[in-house]
């Protein structure tokens, strides 16, 4: 399966989650997280330069968000510790920040994109690193608490 097909599948799954709305999950911000991931995928697919790097970022973010959503199936807001809810909100903010950065890359004029190709790649990789770091901070308590709640 090529990367664009995989991104389309992830995007479709996230759209379903997003359409279900906050009521499907106990944490209201998850709807926004899914929406941001969809936007990041759209932007990555629209980029002409550094598309491979942007698609890797979008794929990574979407897969992590999918696993995050899986961890909250059947949970209510009361099941989620307040500090984990705050971590999710911070991750959502980080996703929105990445979305804005990538959106700015799409809006650049063609000649500016050619001149800035390397710096754009650096920006994309920095976004990827930021999201990875944020997700690691978020994931440990979520998956640990999911394990405990499941016991």
Q: Is the pLDDT of residue 39 over 80?
A: yes
**CA–CA gap between residue 105 and residue 42 (Å, rounded):** 13
**CA–CA gap between residue 39 and residue 41 (Å, rounded):** 5
pLDDT for 68-80, tens place per residue? 877 777 777 777 7
Q: At what angle do helices 29-46 and 3-20 cross, to 10 degrees?
A: 150
Per-residue confidence band for 107, with pLDDT thresholds at 50, 70 and 90: confident
Higher pLDDT among residues 23 and 99, named by residue: 99
How far does the chain reach from its first CA to its final CA, in angstroms?
36
Q: Taking the model in full, what pTM does it have?
A: 0.76
**CA–CA gap between residue 136 and residue 131 (Å, rounded):** 8
pLDDT of residue 93: 92
The three-class DSSP label of residue 90 is helix
Q: Is the pLDDT of residue 81 over 60?
A: yes
- The mean predicted confidence, pLDDT, of the chain is 78
Per-residue confidence band for 149, with pLDDT thresholds at 50, 70 and 90: very low
Q: Is the pLDDT of residue 22 over 70?
A: no
pLDDT of residue 44: 87
């Amino acid at each position: 399966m090529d990367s664009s097909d995989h991104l389309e599948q992830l995007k479709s799954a996230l759209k379903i989650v997003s359409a279900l709305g906050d009521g499907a999950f106990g944490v209201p911000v998850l709807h926004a997280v899914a929406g941001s991931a969809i936007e990041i995928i759209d932007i990555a697919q629209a980029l002409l330069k550094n598309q491979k790097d942007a698609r890797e970022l979008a794929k990574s973010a979407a897969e992590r968000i999918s696993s995050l959503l899986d961890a909250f199936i059947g949970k209510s807001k009361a099941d989620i510790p307040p500090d984990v809810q705050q971590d999710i909100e911070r991750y959502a903010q980080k996703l929105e920040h990445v979305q804005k950065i990538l959106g700015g890359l799409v809006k650049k004029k063609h000649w500016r994109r050619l001149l800035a190709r390397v710096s754009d790649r650096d920006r994309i990789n920095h976004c990827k690193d930021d999201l990875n770091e944020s997700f690691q901070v978020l994931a440990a308590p979520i998956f640990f608490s999911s394990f405990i709640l499941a016991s």
